[in-house]
Amino acid sequence: MQTYAYGYPRLGASREFKRLIEGYWQGKVSEAELRAGIDALERQRIALYQQFVDAHPVGEMTLYDNMLDTAIMLGVYPIDPRDLNAYFTLARGADALPMTKWFNTNYHYLVSHIDAQTAFRLHWNKPLEAFQHYGGGYPYLIGPYTFLRLSRGFEPEQLPALLERLTPVYAEILQQLKQAGAAYVHLDEPAFALDATEAEIDAIRAAYQTLGQYAPILLFSYYDSVDFLPRLYDLPVAGFGLDFVHGARNYQILQQHGFPSDKILIAGVVDGRNVWKTDLRAAAERARALAQQTGATVWLSNAAPLMHLPVSVEPESALDPALRERIAFATERLQELRLLKTLLTEGETDATRAWNAYQHASDHWYAPGVQSRVASLTPADFERAAPYAERDRIQRERLQLPLFPTTTIGSFPQTPEVRQMRQAYRTGKITADEYDAYIQQQIRELIAFQEQQGLDVLVHGEFERTDMVEFFAEKMDGIAFTQQGWLLSYGTRVYRPPIIYGDVARTAPMTVKETAYAQSLTRKPVKGMLTGPVTIIAWSYVREDIPVEQVAYQIALALQDEVRDLEAAGIPIVQIDEPAYREKAPLKRADWDAYFRWAAQAFKLASRAKPETQIHTHMCYSDFNTVLRYIDWMDADVITIEAARAKGEVIGAFEHYNYPRQIGPGVFDVHTPAVPSVESIEAVMARAIRVFPREQFWVNPDCGLKTRKWEEVIPALQHMVEAARRLRAHTG
């Protein structure tokens, strides 16, 4: 039994990738140093693969994003790939390609624009270059279907025709790879895990019928099962890599339809998305059963690219030892593959026995009080005490807001000074009292500013927060933080996901001090600001010993306690942000109802406030058509969403859906430094007012203002408030 690994993080053990590239942008690293550094990183990655597994891809490195590289390769953006200026212009800055989430992960890729005019041609054989440079390995490529499926600029029905046009280009690439001596080519087609139409499946079949003739292809799909897998069995493909961790349905497919005995089954049995160690014995058992059942050659592999895991557990000396010995990052996944092979070929050794034999008890992770609180929840605990119509009446009475109330999404510019003060506090250079006093001063200034601007619902500004998940996770039991557990979120941007390992509970109020202080400074309503349970889960690694909804309910109860405390402190409005509500959704539509059911339940549990407390939620994306009914399930009194960038699309979604509660479709885009004019804001509002009853319409930006500068925020909000005034005057 062979082992194979792929997708090992390119970041480097000390984030060398980030330092090199950002250094180059800042002029501190020369082009030659950059190239040499990246080359060294790639050699380290290959050396690691060679240390632990039998085979691996080559050519996975990118200076920014592999989807961008694919587009350049195929002539969509025919820049000279050696021209770093041209390359980084496509990747970042004002003229960059748009960016979006890669499947249901927290990685973002650059989105290519493709239309009928796009002329595909082989512009840059990137895998060939890598193969010739590094030797060995199976040249790595993103497959044509995935590339098209994740690009924009055309209607879904056009995809089959585009795939047909793209096939000869891939054929040429494969032919050159084979001529150069590649034993196999590694083709990633994760989009096979999405729902595909009949026409798409036919087009995929046609494409691979051709491509398989040019080189021996190993076709990898991951993140979920490939439901049309049996339709690919007769294709001239050498092997299929499947995810048996997050695509457990693949087991059933093989059970029902078998697997062609002349092909290689690359069984992804060690998790590429979560951090819990693989149970080696169980995994070996499953691999053995797969081999017996299919009669095929089975290779053992990771279930999804290892880039969703940090480099290694090694430097995490500060972690609870009970946790540290139970988790595996990317390097430990390579170790697991080697151990699995040992187990299957030689039987148990000291090393295989030691892997899952834990020295430290984890009993202290669990809180019976939290568990019984979740166990005793009844359906009523998930519903507000009064229906929306009644809440609406009570809240209007209490809040006395004008028509088209204006507000913001929560955060205000995080200036270098704010970040410096937080750093000074974290490193002990200033005391907690000094830091608190500084935050209070920021809040004072912000409340005065918002009053002066004439905003109707004020916020405290989130100056004390780095990251909306980290801030809450740090204040909850049962959630750990790593020191070096960095992942790339896009380009060179990194973040460290928390690890939810035990029962979650709030140890003390988390936001009451700042929010109540803000409210004490004004007669206008101040909106409390929490991060919702689904988002905390989506941006963390989550325990798997209990169902994910149980984890969500535990977090929701902690948030509910916070809501109650905010109410007691006189806060009339609480916003519970759920920007990950949509992105956490499973890849296949058939699984949506079940997911959104618990996701909405968790939100409702967290937001179970008194009828007079107005609950807001916020989400920032624009494809609302498909999820509106699930947003409706949340029963929030007000939702604020992204709309300005999507130019009416979002508002269009509401034309076909009679959304019963209040909505703030963002009237300007916070992602660009451009200051919106009063007229452009009025234009968005004019569209909205045709769709929403005017009592339902709120006026706010698309998202938080954290990444903007004050010079931009001041005029933008002035214009927003002015536009709302004009609209009131027109309709009043």
Report helix angle 432-453 to 512-520, nearest 10. 40
Give dist(CA 179, CA 581) in Å, integer: 47
Residue 191: which residues within 8 A CB-CB, separation 6 or more? 143, 145, 146, 149, 150, 221
Which residue has 């200033």 as its token pair?
430
The residue (of 377 and 494) whose beta carbon lies closer to ligand GLN is 494
According to CB under 6 A, which residues from 518 to 577 bind ligand GLN? 529, 577
Cβ pair 667, 631 in contact under 8 A:
no
Give the one residue of 57, 139, 216, 410 binding ligand GLN; rule: CB under 6 A: 410
Residue 441: which residues within 8 A CB-CB, separation 6 or more? none
Please choose which of ligand GLN, Zn ion, none residue 241 contacts, taking the beta carbon within 5 to 8 angstroms, the exact cut-off set by kind. Answer: none
Per-residue three-class SS string for 363-376: HHHCCHHHHHHHHC
The residue (of 104 and 411) whose beta carbon lies closer to ligand GLN is 411
Tokens of residue 103, six digits: 């499947």
Q: Which stretch binds ligand GLN (CB under 6 A): 128-136, 376-384, 471-479, 698-706?
A: 698-706
Q: Are strands 264-270 and 297-302 parallel, antiparallel or unpaired?
A: parallel
Return the amino acid letter for 184: Y
CB of 509 to ligand GLN, least distance (A): 18
The residue (of 308 and 616) whose beta carbon lies closer to ligand GLN is 616
468 sits near ligand GLN (criterion: CB under 6 A): yes
CB of 701 to ligand GLN, least distance (A): 9
Please choose which of ligand GLN, Zn ion, none residue 634 contacts, taking the beta carbon within 5 to 8 angstroms, the exact cut-off set by kind. Answer: none
Q: DSSP letter at 458?
A: B
Please choose which of ligand GLN, Zn ion, none residue 112 contacts, taking the beta carbon within 5 to 8 angstroms, the exact cut-off set by kind. Answer: none
Q: Which stretch binds ligand GLN (CB under 6 A): 15-23, 404-412, 425-433, 502-510?
A: 404-412
Q: DSSP letter at 122?
A: -
The residue (of 312 and 640) whose beta carbon lies closer to ligand GLN is 640
Q: Which stretch binds ligand GLN (CB under 6 A): 2-10, 371-379, 683-691, 699-707?
A: 699-707
Please choose which of Zn ion, ligand GLN, none residue 71 contacts, taking the beta carbon within 5 to 8 angstroms, the exact cut-off set by kind. Answer: none
- Residue 146 exposure: Cα atoms within 13 Å on the Cβ side: 21
Q: What is the dihedral of CA 308, 312, 318, 320, to 10 degrees?
A: 70
> What positions carry a catalytic annotation?
671
Please choose which of Zn ion, ligand GLN, none residue 640 contacts, taking the beta carbon within 5 to 8 angstroms, the exact cut-off set by kind. Answer: none
Q: Which stretch binds ligand GLN (CB under 6 A): 9-17, 313-321, 606-614, 702-710?
A: 702-710
Task: Tell me the residue number closest to ligand GLN, measured at CB.
Answer: 704
620 sits near ligand GLN (criterion: CB under 6 A): yes
Give the one residue of 10, 45, 618, 719 binding ligand GLN; rule: CB under 6 A: 618
Give dist(CA 75, CA 11) in Å, integer: 27
Give dist(CA 102, CA 87) in Å, integer: 20
Please choose which of Zn ion, ligand GLN, none residue 450 contacts, taking the beta carbon within 5 to 8 angstroms, the exact cut-off set by kind. Answer: none
Closest CA to 291 of 629, 2, 596: 2
The residue (of 421 and 619) whose beta carbon lies closer to ligand GLN is 619
List the beta strands (DSSP E) in 418-498: 476-480, 487-490, 493-495
Please choose which of Zn ion, ligand GLN, none residue 529 contacts, taking the beta carbon within 5 to 8 angstroms, the exact cut-off set by kind. Answer: ligand GLN
Task: Tell me the residue number closest to Zn ion, measured at CB.
Answer: 620
Please choose which of Zn ion, ligand GLN, none residue 235 contacts, taking the beta carbon within 5 to 8 angstroms, the exact cut-off set by kind. Answer: none
Residue 418: which residues within 8 A CB-CB, separation 6 or more? 442, 463
CB of 640 to ligand GLN, least distance (A): 9
Interface size with ligand GLN, residues (CB under 6 A): 13
- Residue 449 exposure: Cα atoms within 13 Å on the Cβ side: 19
Give dist(CA 498, CA 481) in Å, integer: 5
Q: Which stretch binds ligand GLN (CB under 6 A): 23-31, 207-215, 485-493, 701-709?
A: 701-709
The residue (of 462 and 464) whose beta carbon lies closer to ligand GLN is 462
Q: Which stretch binds ligand GLN (CB under 6 A): 154-162, 235-243, 273-281, 700-708?
A: 700-708
Exposure string for 592-615, b = 16+ CB within 10 A, e = fewer: beebbebbbbbbbbbbbbebebbb
Where on the chain is the footprint of ligand GLN (CB under 6 A)? Answer: 409-411, 462, 468, 529, 577, 579, 618, 620, 703-704, 706
